[in-house]
Chains A and B, each alone.
Chain A
Amino acid sequence: MRRILILHGCIALALLAIAAPGPAHAAEPRMATVAVDIVRASKTPGRTDPRLEKFRHQLADFSFKKYKLLDSALVTVEEKKTVSVPLEKGRKLRGKSLDITFVKLESDGRARLKLVIPEVVDTTVSLALDGVVILGGPAIPSGKNGVLFLPVTLVAVK
Chain B
Amino acid sequence: MSETMRDLELEQRLSAYADGELDPREAEEIRRVLAGDPVARARLEDLEALSAALRATLEEIGEEADLEGFADEVMRRVERAKAPAATPEGRRRFFAWGVRWRAPLLAGAAALAALAVVVGPGLFGDSTPERLLLEGDPADTRILAMSTHGDHGATLFKTSAGTTIIYLTGK
Chain A interface residues toward B at CB < 8 A: 57-58, 60-63, 93-94, 103, 110, 112, 117, 119-128, 130-139, 141, 143, 147, 149
Contacts and interface: CB of A to CB of B under 8 A. Distances in A.
Given A61-B160, A139-B46, A121 B145 contact: no
A141 B169 CA distance: 11
Contacts, number: 124
B145 to A, nearest CB: 4
Nearest to A61: B159
B98 interface: no
Contact of B57 (A61, A94, A120, A139): A61
Given A62-B53, A121-B148, A121-B168, A133 B161 contact: no
Contacts of B48: 139, 143
B150 interface: yes
A53 B65 CA distance: 23
Contacts of B154: 121
A141 B49 CA distance: 10
Given A127-B140, A134-B166, A122 B146 contact: yes
Per DSSP, are chain B's interface residues mostly helix, strand or loop, or mixed?
Answer: mixed
Nearest to B147: A122
17 contacts: A57-B161, A58-B165, A61-B61, A120-B170, A121-B147, A121-B148, A122-B146, A123-B143, A128-B139, A131-B141, A132-B164, A133-B136, A133-B141, A133-B143, A133-B166, A141-B45, A143-B45
A139 to B, nearest CB: 3
A121 B46 contact: no
Given A60-B161, A133-B143, A134-B164, A124 B129 contact: yes
Nearest to B44: A143
A125 B171 contact: no
Looking at A120, A125, A143, which has the most chain B CB atoms within 10 Å of its CB? A125
B159 A136 contact: no
A110 B101 CA distance: 33
B132 to A, nearest CB: 9
Interface in B119-171: 129, 136-137, 139-150, 152, 154, 159-161, 163-171
B161 A61 contact: yes
Looking at B48, B159, B163, which has the most chain A CB atoms within 10 Å of its CB? B163
Contacts of B141: 125-128, 131-133
B39 interface: no
B111 interface: yes
Nearest to B145: A124
A150 to B, nearest CB: 9
B146 A133 contact: no
B116 interface: no
A155 to B, nearest CB: 14
